[in-house]
Amino acid sequence: MTCRQVNITRDGCGVSKLCTETPNDCDPAGNSSCLFASLDAGTTMAPNGTLLSVELRGDSTGYIALGLTQNVSEGTTALFICAQNNGSFFFRTMSKNNTDETLTPTETITQEIRGMVNGDVIKCEFEIPNVNATMTRTTESTTFVILLGNGTTDGTALGPFMTLLNSGSLNVANPASNTGTTAAPGNGTTMSGADHPHAVPLLLSVLAAFLVFRA
Protein backbone atom coordinates (compact mmCIF):
# COMPACT_ATOMS: atom_id res chain seq x y z
CA MET A 1 0.00 0.00 0.00
CA THR A 2 1.39 3.37 -0.97
CA CYS A 3 0.47 6.97 -0.25
CA ARG A 4 1.00 9.13 -3.31
CA GLN A 5 -0.80 11.45 -5.69
CA VAL A 6 -4.00 9.80 -6.90
CA ASN A 7 -5.82 11.45 -9.81
CA ILE A 8 -9.47 10.45 -10.18
CA THR A 9 -11.59 11.94 -12.97
CA ARG A 10 -14.77 11.16 -14.89
CA ASP A 11 -12.73 10.36 -18.01
CA GLY A 12 -13.98 7.07 -19.46
CA CYS A 13 -17.24 6.94 -17.49
CA GLY A 14 -19.81 4.92 -19.43
CA VAL A 15 -17.18 3.89 -21.98
CA SER A 16 -14.27 2.14 -20.29
CA LYS A 17 -15.41 2.18 -16.67
CA LEU A 18 -18.68 2.03 -14.75
CA CYS A 19 -19.16 5.14 -12.59
CA THR A 20 -21.43 5.79 -9.64
CA GLU A 21 -21.56 8.98 -7.61
CA THR A 22 -23.56 11.22 -5.33
CA PRO A 23 -24.58 13.96 -6.03
CA ASN A 24 -25.36 12.90 -9.60
CA ASP A 25 -22.68 13.88 -12.13
CA CYS A 26 -20.45 15.44 -9.46
CA ASP A 27 -16.80 16.03 -10.35
CA PRO A 28 -14.30 13.91 -8.37
CA ALA A 29 -11.49 16.13 -9.65
CA GLY A 30 -13.17 19.33 -8.42
CA ASN A 31 -13.32 21.08 -5.06
CA SER A 32 -16.99 20.47 -4.21
CA SER A 33 -18.26 17.51 -2.21
CA CYS A 34 -18.39 14.35 -4.33
CA LEU A 35 -18.60 10.69 -3.34
CA PHE A 36 -17.48 8.88 -6.49
CA ALA A 37 -16.45 5.39 -7.51
CA SER A 38 -15.47 3.80 -10.80
CA LEU A 39 -15.06 0.12 -11.59
CA ASP A 40 -13.14 -1.24 -14.57
CA ALA A 41 -13.64 -4.99 -15.05
CA GLY A 42 -11.17 -7.19 -16.82
CA THR A 43 -12.03 -10.22 -18.95
CA THR A 44 -14.43 -12.63 -17.23
CA MET A 45 -13.36 -16.25 -17.36
CA ALA A 46 -14.38 -19.29 -15.32
CA PRO A 47 -13.17 -20.45 -12.89
CA ASN A 48 -11.00 -17.53 -11.78
CA GLY A 49 -13.46 -14.63 -11.80
CA THR A 50 -12.92 -11.02 -12.82
CA LEU A 51 -10.26 -8.45 -11.93
CA LEU A 52 -11.89 -5.19 -10.81
CA SER A 53 -9.87 -1.98 -10.85
CA VAL A 54 -11.51 0.52 -8.49
CA GLU A 55 -11.22 4.26 -7.97
CA LEU A 56 -12.87 5.80 -4.89
CA ARG A 57 -13.09 9.45 -3.84
CA GLY A 58 -15.04 11.12 -1.05
CA ASP A 59 -15.10 13.61 1.79
CA SER A 60 -14.72 12.32 5.34
CA THR A 61 -12.72 12.88 8.49
CA GLY A 62 -13.04 9.11 9.03
CA TYR A 63 -13.53 6.73 6.13
CA ILE A 64 -15.22 6.28 2.79
CA ALA A 65 -16.13 2.85 1.44
CA LEU A 66 -17.34 0.91 -1.54
CA GLY A 67 -19.53 -2.13 -0.96
CA LEU A 68 -20.37 -5.04 -3.27
CA THR A 69 -23.34 -7.25 -2.51
CA GLN A 70 -26.10 -9.22 -4.19
CA ASN A 71 -28.94 -8.36 -1.84
CA VAL A 72 -28.96 -5.34 0.48
CA SER A 73 -31.45 -6.92 2.89
CA GLU A 74 -29.82 -10.31 3.45
CA GLY A 75 -26.43 -11.98 3.27
CA THR A 76 -23.32 -9.82 3.48
CA THR A 77 -21.64 -6.87 1.79
CA ALA A 78 -17.92 -6.86 1.04
CA LEU A 79 -16.69 -3.41 2.09
CA PHE A 80 -13.49 -1.85 0.78
CA ILE A 81 -12.56 1.01 3.09
CA CYS A 82 -10.25 3.95 2.45
CA ALA A 83 -9.70 5.89 5.65
CA GLN A 84 -7.61 8.53 7.34
CA ASN A 85 -6.19 9.04 10.80
CA ASN A 86 -5.19 12.67 11.24
CA GLY A 87 -4.18 12.93 7.59
CA SER A 88 -2.54 9.50 7.32
CA PHE A 89 -4.14 7.10 4.82
CA PHE A 90 -4.99 3.49 5.64
CA PHE A 91 -7.00 0.72 3.97
CA ARG A 92 -9.24 -2.01 5.40
CA THR A 93 -11.57 -4.73 4.14
CA MET A 94 -14.66 -5.60 6.17
CA SER A 95 -17.78 -7.73 5.86
CA LYS A 96 -21.09 -6.02 6.67
CA ASN A 97 -23.99 -8.15 7.85
CA ASN A 98 -26.92 -6.89 5.76
CA THR A 99 -29.42 -7.84 8.45
CA ASP A 100 -27.97 -6.15 11.54
CA GLU A 101 -25.28 -3.89 9.93
CA THR A 102 -22.49 -5.45 12.01
CA LEU A 103 -18.97 -4.95 10.61
CA THR A 104 -16.51 -7.84 10.83
CA PRO A 105 -12.84 -7.71 9.73
CA THR A 106 -12.17 -9.95 6.73
CA GLU A 107 -9.07 -10.72 4.69
CA THR A 108 -10.48 -10.05 1.21
CA ILE A 109 -7.60 -10.17 -1.25
CA THR A 110 -6.91 -6.65 -2.53
CA GLN A 111 -3.84 -5.49 -4.40
CA GLU A 112 -2.15 -2.41 -5.90
CA ILE A 113 -3.55 -0.18 -3.13
CA ARG A 114 -2.74 3.52 -3.46
CA GLY A 115 -4.23 6.35 -1.45
CA MET A 116 -3.91 9.96 -0.42
CA VAL A 117 -5.52 12.40 2.00
CA ASN A 118 -5.90 16.14 1.50
CA GLY A 119 -7.84 17.71 4.35
CA ASP A 120 -11.19 15.89 4.42
CA VAL A 121 -10.77 14.49 0.90
CA ILE A 122 -9.78 10.83 0.63
CA LYS A 123 -8.79 9.32 -2.71
CA CYS A 124 -7.72 5.75 -3.35
CA GLU A 125 -7.22 3.15 -6.07
CA PHE A 126 -7.07 -0.61 -5.67
CA GLU A 127 -7.65 -3.89 -7.49
CA ILE A 128 -9.87 -6.79 -6.44
CA PRO A 129 -8.84 -10.04 -8.15
CA ASN A 130 -10.99 -13.12 -8.76
CA VAL A 131 -14.38 -11.49 -8.24
CA ASN A 132 -17.42 -13.67 -8.92
CA ALA A 133 -21.00 -13.19 -7.72
CA THR A 134 -21.91 -16.88 -7.99
CA MET A 135 -21.13 -19.90 -5.87
CA THR A 136 -20.13 -22.21 -8.74
CA ARG A 137 -16.73 -22.38 -10.40
CA THR A 138 -18.21 -22.99 -13.86
CA THR A 139 -20.52 -19.97 -13.95
CA GLU A 140 -19.35 -16.38 -13.71
CA SER A 141 -21.49 -13.36 -12.84
CA THR A 142 -20.56 -9.71 -12.60
CA THR A 143 -23.97 -8.49 -11.37
CA PHE A 144 -23.70 -6.64 -8.06
CA VAL A 145 -25.35 -3.92 -6.05
CA ILE A 146 -22.79 -1.16 -5.47
CA LEU A 147 -22.99 0.74 -2.19
CA LEU A 148 -21.11 3.95 -1.46
CA GLY A 149 -20.94 5.47 2.00
CA ASN A 150 -18.83 6.66 4.88
CA GLY A 151 -18.25 6.36 8.59
CA THR A 152 -16.08 7.35 11.50
CA THR A 153 -12.83 5.94 12.83
CA ASP A 154 -10.43 6.63 15.68
CA GLY A 155 -7.58 5.27 13.60
CA THR A 156 -8.16 1.72 14.80
CA ALA A 157 -11.86 0.93 15.28
CA LEU A 158 -14.35 1.68 12.52
CA GLY A 159 -17.76 3.15 13.21
CA PRO A 160 -20.97 2.02 11.48
CA PHE A 161 -21.13 2.24 7.69
CA MET A 162 -23.70 4.79 6.49
CA THR A 163 -25.00 4.10 2.98
CA LEU A 164 -25.23 7.26 0.90
CA LEU A 165 -25.78 5.60 -2.49
CA ASN A 166 -27.38 2.33 -3.59
CA SER A 167 -26.86 1.63 -7.29
CA GLY A 168 -29.40 -1.13 -7.66
CA SER A 169 -28.25 -4.29 -9.46
CA LEU A 170 -25.66 -3.50 -12.13
CA ASN A 171 -23.36 -5.49 -14.37
CA VAL A 172 -19.99 -4.09 -13.37
CA ALA A 173 -18.43 -5.51 -16.55
CA ASN A 174 -20.62 -3.18 -18.64
CA PRO A 175 -19.55 0.47 -18.26
CA ALA A 176 -22.89 1.62 -19.68
CA SER A 177 -25.09 -0.59 -17.50
CA ASN A 178 -26.40 2.45 -15.61
CA THR A 179 -27.61 5.80 -16.83
CA GLY A 180 -27.77 7.28 -13.34
CA THR A 181 -27.83 6.24 -9.71
CA THR A 182 -30.09 7.23 -6.85
CA ALA A 183 -28.77 8.71 -3.63
CA ALA A 184 -30.29 7.44 -0.42
CA PRO A 185 -32.67 9.77 1.46
CA GLY A 186 -31.07 12.05 4.03
CA ASN A 187 -32.41 10.09 6.98
CA GLY A 188 -29.84 7.35 6.37
CA THR A 189 -32.26 4.83 4.88
CA THR A 190 -31.33 3.27 1.57
CA MET A 191 -33.13 2.85 -1.71
CA SER A 192 -33.64 -0.76 -2.75
CA GLY A 193 -32.79 -2.06 -6.20
CA ALA A 194 -36.52 -2.13 -6.96
CA ASP A 195 -36.67 1.62 -6.45
CA HIS A 196 -33.97 2.23 -9.05
CA PRO A 197 -35.45 2.88 -12.50
CA HIS A 198 -32.45 1.47 -14.32
CA ALA A 199 -31.83 -1.55 -12.12
CA VAL A 200 -30.89 -4.77 -13.93
CA PRO A 201 -33.09 -7.68 -12.73
CA LEU A 202 -31.27 -9.75 -10.12
CA LEU A 203 -31.23 -13.27 -11.55
CA LEU A 204 -28.93 -14.91 -9.03
CA SER A 205 -30.38 -17.44 -6.60
CA VAL A 206 -30.84 -16.79 -2.91
CA LEU A 207 -28.26 -19.51 -2.32
CA ALA A 208 -25.61 -17.16 -3.67
CA ALA A 209 -26.49 -14.41 -1.18
CA PHE A 210 -22.86 -13.54 -0.55
CA LEU A 211 -19.86 -12.81 -2.72
CA VAL A 212 -17.10 -15.15 -3.70
CA PHE A 213 -13.58 -13.71 -3.95
CA ARG A 214 -11.38 -16.61 -4.84
CA ALA A 215 -7.77 -16.86 -3.80
Other Cβ atoms closer than 10 A to 21: 23
What's the predicted TM-score (pTM) here? 0.80
Give the residues across from 81 on adjacent strands.
65, 92
d(CA 145, CA 45): 21
DSSP-assigned letters across all residues of 91-129? EEEEEEETTT--EEE-----EEEEEEEETTEEEEEEEEE
* Longest CA–CA separation in the chain, Å: 46
Cα dihedral sign, 6-35-103-109: negative
Picking from 95, 82, 201, 203, the residue whose alpha carbon sits closest to that of residue 151 is 82
Q: What is the pLDDT along the chain (215 residues), one digit of tens a residue?
A: 555 689 999 999 999 999 999 999 999 999 899 999 999 998 766 667 889 999 999 999 999 999 999 999 999 999 999 999 999 999 999 999 999 999 999 988 899 999 999 999 999 999 999 887 765 444 568 899 999 999 999 988 999 999 999 999 999 999 999 864 445 544 444 333 333 333 222 222 222 333 444 44
| Sequence spans of domains, the chain | 2-213
- CATH 1.20.272 corresponds to the domain 2-213: no
